[in-house]
């Protein structure tokens, strides 16, 4: 008398279960692939994304010595802030603005001011 394997519906090794498992894995791989594509192409505010970052696109025009100057990218504006030539009181204009405005009314400039250390003056206590 030979024993034949019992094929219950809860037996993982049945052909039906293996096919079902394989299809599930294939669907899961497709879902992960599409999610990775969406995540890779999402720009998160504040994140470093060199191609889509604001610093790669932003153009600031500022009033320096009473005259309009620019456009300057964010990194250059940060250098001017560090040197004390630009502050929240400086008038600025960026594309999309109707008129010049003080820097303290422009969120993009306020963010740059907050990121920069204050200018160092020789003779200050360290």
Question: What DSSP line would sit under 12-39, residue for residue?
Answer: TTSHHHHHHHHHHHHHHHHHHHHHHHHH
pLDDT per residue rounded down to tens, the chain (126 residues)? 556 555 555 665 677 777 888 888 889 888 888 888 787 777 666 555 454 444 445 689 999 999 999 899 999 998 998 888 988 899 999 988 899 999 999 988 888 888 888 766 777 666
Q: Which two tokens stand for residue 84?
A: 């004390």
pLDDT at 9: 59
Its pTM surpasses 0.75: no
The β-bridge partners of 101 are: 92
pLDDT at 73: 92
Q: What is the pLDDT of residues 18-50, one digit of tens each?
A: 788 888 888 988 888 888 878 777 766 655 545
pLDDT at 10: 61
pLDDT at 56: 46
How are the residues of the chain apportioned to helix, strand and coil, as percentages rounded to the nearest 5?
40, 15, 45
Q: Please name the fold of domain 54-115.
A: Dna Ligase; domain 1 (3.30.1490)
């Amino acid at each position: 008398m030979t024993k034949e394997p019992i094929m219950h519906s809860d037996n993982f090794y049945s052909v039906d279960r293996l096919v079902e498992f394989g299809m599930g894995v294939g669907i899961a791989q497709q879902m992960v692939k599409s999610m990775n594509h969406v995540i890779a192409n999402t720009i998160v505010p504040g994140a470093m994304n060199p191609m889509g970052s604001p610093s790669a696109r932003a153009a600031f025009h500022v009033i320096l010595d009473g005259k309009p100057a620019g456009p300057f990218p964010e990194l250059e504006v940060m250098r001017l802030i560090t040197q004390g030539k630009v502050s929240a009181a400086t008038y600025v204009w960026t594309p999309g603005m109707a008129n010049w405005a003080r820097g303290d009314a422009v969120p993009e400039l306020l963010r740059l001011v907050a990121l920069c250390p204050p200018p160092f003056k020789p003779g200050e206590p360290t």
